[in-house]
A and B are shown apart, each in its own frame.
Chain A
Amino acid sequence: MDWISTLLQAPTTSIFWQLVASGVAVGMIYATIAFGYQLTFATSKTLNFGQGEALMLGAMLGLTLLPYLGYWLMLPVILIFGMAQGAVVERLGVRPAIETKSEFGWIMATIALGIIFRNMAENIWGRDDLKFPSPLPETAIELGTVRILPAEIMVVVGALLMMAAVETFNRRSIYGKAFVATSNDIDAAGLMGIDTRRVITMSYAMSSMTAAFAGVLVAPVTLTGATMGAVLALKAFAVAIIGGLDSALGAIVGGILLGVIETLTGYYVSTGYKDVPGLILVLIVLAIRPAGLFGRRTIKKV
């Protein structure tokens, strides 16, 4: 068990903190996508299995617009595009399933839409992995003994700002209050005169908007290509399960937890087993707290 003793001594060394820093950056990438799952799950108890593709579309469109608009002008276009894309997914894939009270129809429909979006992207942009130029310098900066890329810091800060903005919108604006009311009790919200159908469409639009923004944000760190979303979305799903499907805080904590566990396992155990402990954590959470670390436990009466 010598790896345990290495682990115990490690915090004193710079390596541990280097691993944590890299893990946090990767974890926040997962968290941005998990945050999107959480938005739609809160209102409609459904989620977009094409969330990874929404992220990819944001990144690819951003890369295309970059030479014409520059980085900062490109961002609002991406946000609007993301909203439209999310609304389309909801109308085509989710609403029919909700209206026919189909329990699982939306799962197949959102997966199918995701595949269609990916194929479209392959036809438009090809399937090569491309480089997304970072608006920040590409040389690492040193924080104490830890070296980190400016783009990685941007992922963490940008993701937190984005989540804070969405949370503020939900708490302060009248639309946001309708949003929260629908999450709490969709039937009661409907009786209070809230158009819950529109709220659900809005939640999908916002979810894809965050994904598209996340795409632009993470693209300088990850590779940019039609298949970039697939692996990330799967990891984000694990994050959503760990953190809880209806908690924004859960997405952040779950993401960081998974990212850090991955890099620490890679270093202290073996890079071949990097992905295993994260999945074990998913199983443990499902066994002990099925609603996730920060999820609300609901009692379903039957």
Chain B
Amino acid sequence: MMKIRTFGAVAALALALTTGAFAAEPIKIGLSGPFTGGSSSMGVSMRDGVKLAVEEVNKAGGVLGRPLQLIERDDEAKNELGAQIAQELINKEKVVATLGFINTGVALAAQRFYQEAEIPVINNVATGTVITNQFKKPDYDTNYVFRTSAYDSIQAGMMAEEAVKGRGYKKIAILADSTNYGQLGREDLEKALEKLGVKPVAVEKFNIKDVDMTAQLLRAKEAGAEALLCYGIGPELAQIANGRAKLGWNVPMITSWPSSMQSFIDIAGANGNGVMMPQTFIEDKTLPKRAAFLEAYYKTFGVTKIPTPVAGAQGYDSVLLLAAAIKQAGSTDGPAIRAALEDLKEKVEGVVTTYEKPFSETDHNAISANIPVFGMVKDGKIVYARGEDAKNSGVVRKKEKATN
């Protein structure tokens, strides 16, 4: 009799242990980004940042007593593939939320499936201003799309301010690639310049894979441009930096954030030095939280530099925000997580910033205009462009009141 009772107790204990600690059903989180292809340095950095955060959350006991499990999919920066992956993650994998999207086009093609399925999606890299506005109130009752990156109109505003106010240039040329990303960015730049009372002296276009930028640069030069504002991605921005050096025209170049990509640094080499771009995160160990993140990243992935630091940091933070929201919601139910994100009570200490109420019902962007700083390419690394930012690197820049 005794034996049976002991056996029963042991069995019950074992059962409790397995369900409690070991066999707790994992919480599935989708992860979509380009891990191969032209934007893969952003995608891979983002993925690795996400993985690092998931590992940390799981080590600390997971969320709601359950571990987080990532379901990774390579969207190859292709819109149609991104849409397929969204359906697979929602219908087959039954994820509770998805993180990712490097490319604005992929985000726009994929996130409507999440919206329909009422599953939150946090964009941690894509910057198109329209992304968080696609399902905005009042056209939609609820919006399931959130973002932890600095959207284009913030970046364009910073670029214009730096050129006009910061450095006092009045003659400005815009060079933008012919993709959606480049042309939407160009519009944002023109608007931002107009606010400052400046009309660009030249607005030029280039195509992805263009070999020669001579015509664009000479037009800007002959129009008397004192500074170049460029919207594009790493390889073509590097061709502009190289073309500028070829013409012996030492004009300041301020670009959108992708000049922090490894491909820009590699292809432009010494010609890239001094190029400035908005950054939400610089590899800097002043703050203990950032130092711990960087050391863990370098150690885990065997690198001495994050290929695209901004993507890695924003990816890392997106996991922490999602975990906090699931915890607050007390369930993995989509609408409950969305509601928790919109009213996040916990203060989340990330590496980009410390998030206090990062989102609200009407504002789904965690990054406001005061958070990004200017980074600058210097000998193969991105450093603070301004002395005062470097000096203040120990101060966390927190979000201002709703900006979008």
List the interface of chain A (C-beta within 8 A of B): 15, 18-19, 22-23, 25-26, 29, 122, 126-131, 138-140, 142, 147-149, 221-223, 225, 227-228, 230-232, 262-267, 270-272, 274-275
Contacts and interface: CB of A to CB of B under 8 A. Distances in A.
A140 B246 CA distance: 5
Contacts of A148: 246
Interface in B1-57: 36-38, 40-41
Interface stretch (B262-270, B293-301, B339-347, B396-404): B262-270
B214 A22 contact: yes
Nearest to A267: B215
A275 B207 CA distance: 10
Interface string B81-122: 000000000000000000000000000000000000000000
A128 B206 CA distance: 19
Contacts of B206: 271
A126 B212 CA distance: 24
Contacts of B269: 131, 138
A230 B211 CA distance: 13
A223 B264 CA distance: 11
Nearest to B268: A131
Contacts of A223: 209, 235, 239, 267
B266 A271 contact: no
Contacts of A25: 212
Given A122-B36, A126-B36, A129-B267, A15 B218 contact: yes
Nearest to B206: A271
Interface string B232-248: 00110001000001111
Contacts of A265: 215
A271 B205 contact: yes
B215 A127 contact: no
B356 to A, nearest CB: 38
B36 A18 contact: no
10 contacts: A126-B36, A127-B37, A127-B38, A149-B246, A227-B209, A262-B215, A266-B215, A266-B219, A271-B205, A272-B204
Contacts of B234: 129
Chain B interface helix/strand/loop/mixed: helix
B362 interface: no
A19 B247 CA distance: 11
B222 interface: yes
B354 interface: no
A221 B211 contact: yes
A149 B239 CA distance: 13
B247 A147 contact: yes
A224 to B, nearest CB: 9
Interface in B208-228: 209, 211-212, 214-216, 218-219, 222
Interface string B176-214: 001000000000000000000000000011110101101
A270 B247 CA distance: 19
A225 B40 CA distance: 13
A147 B246 contact: yes
A85 B19 CA distance: 58
A270 B202 CA distance: 10
B213 to A, nearest CB: 9
Contacts of B178: 272
B216 A266 contact: yes
Nearest to B222: A15
A238 B316 CA distance: 47
B211 A271 contact: no
Interface of B: 36-38, 40-41, 178, 204-207, 209, 211-212, 214-216, 218-219, 222, 234-235, 239, 245-248, 262-263, 266-267, 269
Nearest to A22: B214
A272 B205 contact: yes
A245 to B, nearest CB: 23
Nearest to A127: B37
A18 B40 contact: no
A85 to B, nearest CB: 22
A147 B222 CA distance: 16
B209 A228 contact: yes
A19 B267 CA distance: 23
B205 A263 contact: no
Contacts of B267: 129-131, 223
A18 B38 contact: no
Contacts of B222: 15
B185 to A, nearest CB: 15
A147 B248 contact: yes
Nearest to B216: A271
Contacts of B216: 266, 271
A147 B246 CA distance: 7
A172 B205 CA distance: 48
A271 B215 contact: yes
B219 A271 contact: yes
A83 to B, nearest CB: 26
B221 to A, nearest CB: 9
Contacts of A122: 36
A292 B263 CA distance: 40
Contact of A128 (B214, B219, B263): B263
A220 to B, nearest CB: 10
Contacts of A267: 214-215, 218-219
B34 to A, nearest CB: 9
A266 B207 CA distance: 12
Contact of B247 (A18, A126, A129, A262): A18
A23 B212 CA distance: 8
B40 A131 contact: no
A88 to B, nearest CB: 25
Given A266-B219, A271-B216, 7 more contacts: A29-B211, A126-B36, A126-B40, A131-B266, A223-B267, A230-B209, A263-B212
Contact of A263 (B214, B246, B248): B214
A90 B36 CA distance: 31
Contacts of B40: 126-128
A222 B211 CA distance: 5
B307 to A, nearest CB: 10
B287 to A, nearest CB: 31
Given A223-B209, A228-B209, A130 B214 contact: no
Contacts of B263: 128-130
Closest 5 CB pairs of A and B: A266-B215, A22-B214, A127-B37, A129-B235, A267-B215
